[in-house]
Amino acid sequence: MVKIGNIELGDFPLLLAPMEDISDPPFRAVCKQNGVDMMYTEFISSEGLIRDAQKSLHKLDIYDYERPIGIQIFGDKVEVMREAAKIADAAQPELVDINYGCPVKNVACKGAGAGLLQDLPKMQKITEEIVKSCTRPVTVKTRLGWDDSTKNIIEAAKRLQDVGISALTIHGRTRAQMYKGEADWSLIAEVKNLPDIHIPIFGNGDIDSPEKAVEYKNKYGVDGVMIGRAAIGYPWIFKEIKHYIATGQKLSPPTIQQRVDTVMAHLKFSVEWKGQKTGIFEMRAHYTNYFRGIPDFKPFRLKLVEANTYEETMDVLDEIKAGLMLATY
């Protein structure tokens, strides 16, 4: 049984990665329906939280059906991160997570996210202050290092565990790699196998199928895996991995009806959480992913992006279900 603090997550937990503009409550809802064990909010600016910025505060929204869930924060100032962690802690998640892995320029090059891999003492100090400030477990997500010449994840992991984090997720790329190339899990395995590392170690990067999840589970010995991009438009991946681990057999891909039903659920949550106008607009980015690989889908996609009300969109989805039900793919 893998545990973070007192949170029991099963024998090999599957985690949903925090993804900006993706991992909002509507998307998390459909992932939860498909078997994910632990989820995280989108990453939240520590500066935004302490300034009461509406966008940042909105990301604190969590619901009982999502639990267990972690709130993830990022920033580069010790005092600001400490105060933001207190705000996140007060929102009553199961844990508070720190982002030391975001590679994008306007985060990492300002000393936050993966930028803190260039300053391990500061990373350690921020983490120590957050652990002291929170009543809940604190976890970290990071990368192998800044670039190929500075892969310092082993030292980082030891420092982070020393100041009291309860789990560590490692993305198997450096900041310089961004999301390119193949993730290197060998260093993740090295961290996991260190004799003085006793916290759960989760691997992240390139898990896009049940077969790969089981292969990496067996090959690298991690306590669980975090899945990000492979879940976008395909929340069924969590259910498929669990079935494959339990039976050694692959589930059939989702049917047209299952795809449409999931999109309807996602749309309903989106409109309820964001309001009709924003909820419908932001769902448009998801349709291509949900119906990727379906023949003759383009006319339906155009109808979906042109629909302006919840009722119109649901009518198009009903039309898709009726029109494509017999499609084979």
Cβ 174 vs Cβ 147: under 8 Å: yes
Distance between CA atoms of residues 162 and 165, nearest Å: 8
102 in catalytic set: yes
Distance between CA atoms of residues 216 and 233, nearest Å: 23
Distance between CA atoms of residues 106 and 112, nearest Å: 9
Q: Which two tokens stand for residue 151?
A: 């892969």
Distance between CA atoms of residues 283 and 11, nearest Å: 34
Could you give phi then psi for residue 6, rounded to 5 degrees? -100, 10
Q: Give me the catalytic one of 31, 102, 109, 134.
A: 102
Using alpha carbons only, how large is the chain's radius of gyration in Å? 20
**CA torsion sign, 117 to 121 to 125 to 131?**
positive
Active site (catalytic) residues: 102
